[in-house]
Structure 1
């Protein structure tokens, strides 16, 4: 028996891992730990495919003002799972993407505009507040037959040759053949499974908030490339946009300390007044920037999705969309394994999941890292390469279309659900 644990109490780690008759106990095929969008989507998918599934985690925060741009391939997945009709009314379409060089350096790239119509799409994706996305997914979880919702925290995870035991902070226990960690960058499931990580930091912080503005956005996003990182405005419903302002940590703290009027004036200046007068709406948040990648996404009867597997800066709307590709790929692999009569938590099944996801995760992480570091670099050759790349993207239609398609969904990693195909 292999025993791994997230518990801090040594006595608890020596306790009998078998379920107790004095506390609630459940036996399922799969336990999904984490109730963010990736975790809830994973649980819904598996329950609808006939796996007995437990979703273990406290409810997602109801006041999360951050936003997520769901790219076209993620929308296809949500549509295939019959979730999109409830989510779409909360969204704003992202039809055009403008990239503007505001570095003020000697070599500057020309403005580039990407248009979804060039790919014969109504939009590259749709921007939504996290609280609205979480609320609709939570409602779908509550209505899903075969999905057991346990609003408790994981205390302890025990891995055995033929299954796992999860001990919860409310006293309950869950027995599962497979545990899926969708529990964030500090994933207890990842730690309990003994999966190592590679981590790094950037000399940047992201100020995140929402804005109202006088001029309509016309469903454009605007990404200003600055010396300290991207300054990105993404459309929300009405005359509103979400903002990710990447600056040095000291500058982020200075901006955080301004009153609403002074902050709005500063942000309007940074945005070159393209949306006119701005007003800060809701709360502000600061996130130090860095990255994490798990050394494997599957081991010891545990699989990782979303930020439990990979974290990188909020650039290019890649974070949650990469996590939803994890969900789609893992669901496809588990359904196929069941058809072959395999143990869904077996090493061979997890190895297939690792092979399916490694190239996508590595390429996205590398691309975002290189783009971010190119903005921070004062080296003239780096500036020239970045400028040339954007120039060619603006002037060479086949290259531009390739970049747009790859940004939405990589050719080499396109699970069935991302192509609008069911798993049956």
Structure 2
């Protein structure tokens, strides 16, 4: 029988396995992943990883492997304008350092992050089973039995669902969600440009939604481009000339001519918050527990925070001789994470509704608010620490760069 079985072999699932196994090597931990072996190597996307999450990856021994492919964000620039505006005034800027020489975030290719986490799993002896998914489970007094798509079953003391925002295991557990759609889609693409970005990230608030330019290594940037769903579908299926012309209108010309690298995809956007993160011998983590708008770049980082809290809960319970799958133990994890997740979900929802419109009085009010924050260094410093995940006192040790 396993001690912990994780369903979902993405960043959150792999991180959860590494965090627990590294701190408690005697625990039997396994990961199952529905996708076939090697699919992750085809992921062309990149993700923003905040300072607190990079500290955790460093504890895992994965950060040094990731670092050569990571681009630090030296500065963040925020504008509020229309697509047709010839000039986009800057209302707010953030310096990227939370400490001297330590940026609040890095942009990391997803392939590099998954490779480093898989290598960490291999070093710790964690088995990753590919091509199988959970089809149902039964929870008993001492274990949960998960039925798999290949006809086999697995017994575990704790089942952790990291299987995405449309989590099947969450539905099987009977956990309800609060959710709605935004009629927006996020277009994700990588572009090459003539001039260097100097590590500057930009977020342009446009009437259709935020347009984020996030620096990658070399003269490349990652885009998260929010459009109304119908327009997003039209753009991703248009030819390269049309797409790049529309892109240049939003991106601007300061980095010179643009060229799209690889494919472009659109993902529907919405808000999903689970009403509970735990049940007897069952826990949710990552997008299975919460899916938020990318306006803040915090989606993946919320998942990493889940990992740090869940791992510390499980490991400390085990050291005390407690049942790691009991609801009493798991309630500590839920109390640690639910409020932060709800707060971030509400914040991103409000920001998206506030900035994704062209209503005159609202535009004046929000630009006034941005201007006030720009003129208050103390408030700016607080926001940057919040974004970096370094403001919380008494949080999980992994996020402070400390072993459990």
The TM tier, using the shorter chain, reads: over 0.9
Matches of 2:397 and 2:19, distance apart in 1: 13
Q: Indicate the SS of the match to 1:31.
A: strand
Residue 412 (structure 1) shift? 5.8
C-alpha deviations, 1:345-373, integer Å up to 9, x for none?
A: 11111211111111110111111111100
Partner of 1:399: 379
Gaps of 5+ in 1: 1-26
Matches of 1:137 and 1:335, distance apart in 2: 19
CA 1:86–1:110: 2 relative to 1, 3 Å: closer
Partner of 1:21: none
2:224 pairs with 1:236? no
Further displaced range: 259-268 or 312-321: 259-268
Residue 273 (structure 1) shift? 1.3
Matches of 1:138 and 1:81, distance apart in 2: 11
* TM-score (norm. length: structure 2): 0.93
1:67 to 22, 41, 46: 46
1:420 to 369, 381, 401: 401
CA 1:272–1:109: 2 relative to 1, 3 Å: closer
Residue-pair matches, total: 395
2:5 pairs with 1:31? yes
Matches of 1:234 and 1:172, distance apart in 2: 44
Matches of 1:274 and 1:77, distance apart in 2: 36
2:28 to 52, 56, 60: 52
1:149 to 122, 125, 128: 128
Could you tell me whether the CA contact under 8 Å between 1:207 and 1:246 is conserved in 2?
yes
Could you tell me whether the CA contact under 8 Å between 1:197 and 1:293 is conserved in 2?
yes
Q: Indicate the SS of the match to 1:345.
A: coil
Matches of 2:394 and 2:370, distance apart in 1: 24
C-alpha deviations, 1:388-419, integer Å up to 9, x for none?
A: 22112211100100111111115267311000
* Aligned residue runs from structure 1 range 115-194, under 5 A: 115-117=95-97, 119-145=99-125, 147-151=126-130, 152-194=132-174
Partner of 1:260: 240
Q: Indicate the SS of the match to 1:62.
A: helix
Could you tell me whether the CA contact under 8 Å between 1:109 and 1:387 is conserved in 2?
no
2:70 pairs with 1:96? no
Matches of 1:35 and 1:413, distance apart in 2: 29
Partner of 1:86: 65
Residue 44 (structure 1) shift? 1.0
Matches of 1:383 and 1:336, distance apart in 2: 49
C-alpha deviations, 1:203-222, integer Å up to 9, x for none?
A: 21111110000111011111
Could you tell me whether the CA contact under 8 Å between 1:76 and 1:420 is conserved in 2?
yes
Matches of 1:401 and 1:297, distance apart in 2: 31
1:214 to 165, 173, 194: 194
Partner of 1:12: none
2:56 pairs with 1:77? yes
Q: Indicate the SS of the match to 1:343.
A: coil
Further displaced range: 396-405 or 62-71: 62-71
Matches of 2:79 and 2:285, distance apart in 1: 33
Partner of 2:323: 343
Residue 195 (structure 1) shift? 0.8
Matches of 2:160 and 2:101, distance apart in 1: 33
Could you tell me whether the CA contact under 8 Å between 1:110 and 1:387 is conserved in 2?
no
Could you tell me whether the CA contact under 8 Å between 2:177 and 2:273 is conserved in 1?
yes
Could you tell me whether the CA contact under 8 Å between 1:216 and 1:239 is conserved in 2?
yes
Residue 110 (structure 1) shift? 4.3
CA 1:413–1:65: 2 relative to 1, 3 Å: farther
Gaps of 5+ in 2: none
Further displaced range: 397-406 or 376-385: 376-385
Stretches (4+) displaced over 6 A: none
Residue 256 (structure 1) shift? 1.3
1:43 to 11, 17, 22: 17
Matches of 2:344 and 2:89, distance apart in 1: 22
Matches of 1:110 and 1:116, distance apart in 2: 16
Residue 140 (structure 1) shift? 2.1
Further displaced range: 243-252 or 33-42: 243-252
